[in-house]
Amino acid sequence: MPRLFGTDGVRGLANREVTANLALTLGDSAARVLVKSVEGRRPRAVIARDTRISGAMLAQAMAAGLASAGVDVEHVDVLPTPGLAFLTASDGIDLGVVISASHNPMQDNGIKFFAGGGFKLEDALEDEIESLLGKTWSRPTGAGVGQITTSVETADEAYISHLVSSIDVSLEGLKIVVDCANGATSAVAPEALRRCGAEVIVINAEPDGYNINANCGSTHPEQLQETVVATGANFGVAFDGDADRCLAVDHEGNMVDGDQIMGLLAVSLKEQGRLTNDTLVVTVMSNLGLILAMRAAGITTVQTGVGDRYVLEAMREEIGRAHV
């Protein structure tokens, strides 16, 4: 039987491969694996989703599975994946779940787990969760059953405030076009940029459950390119459905892809003395041009397998080396 978890959680055709029953049983199993070390209080989980029509169904099923295992669940509804990771890193949150199929078309959906601290799961933990699927156990009863609550506005505001506080310069005087892919950034990204002082032109921020990633966002940048040029914007950014990736467009409408963005950031951080070990971590999908450019700038590159969790693992290793 093939492994259920792929490079970024569980993903497939919603209601056929990724079903409400699967979400329910995954929630039950994940609770047993990820909160077994919690003592003296009830475990807490946060669930977010993107704007797909199947998202609410799967999020409710996931919440039921977690609550049946004694976990208190907080729904934050539509929020970008990085926002869910941020919330999961908050005090008292033991696990997070994102219901999203990222850049995939609307009919797909997926389930991504985050451990306490906001980090994606290691392969061994995913395998342990999968091994418990469908296995009977003594579930809690009475007051031991978890509570399910909703906190949308509070979560949005917390994440927007975090984004604004993460930069120490004003964006005043900049005109920025934002393509939200009719996805999870439709509310938070424009608001965060406006609070930083930018003039923001928003496109594809009217999700209806069906139009996520449809001829828009990071997989279809043509509209962004046209809008940047037509409005005389300084640049533009496009996200995918859950905003775990983006690309940019310069003032002339030229693409600035992920490799170029990483290269620019790495050089800037090195110049500021803030690039740990003068090292940039990339996946094997990055092109040779980036590797050579970084070498010329005195920056070491470390390559990992495909998947942001592998990149993060390597980054944490570099941070560990820097403190030895």
DSSP string, 198-255: -EEEEES----SS-TTTT-GGG-THHHHHHHHHHT-SEEEEE-TTSS-EEEE-TTS-E
Our answer to whether residue 102 is catalytic in this structure is yes
Q: Which two tokens stand for residue 53?
A: 């029509």
Amino acid (1-letter code) at residue 77: D
Q: Which of 100, 102, 186, 218 is catalytic?
A: 102
Q: Which two tokens stand for residue 152?
A: 């949308």
* H or E element, residue 310: helix 308-322
The closest alpha carbon to 99, from 54, 134, 159, 157, belongs to 54
Determine the Cα–Cα distance for residues 195 and 80; give it in Å rounded to an integer.
Answer: 18
Determine the Cα–Cα distance for residues 155 and 158; give it in Å rounded to an integer.
Answer: 5
The answer to whether 199 touches 176, Cβ cutoff 8 Å, is: yes
The answer to whether 190 touches 205, Cβ cutoff 8 Å, is: yes
Active site amino acids: 102
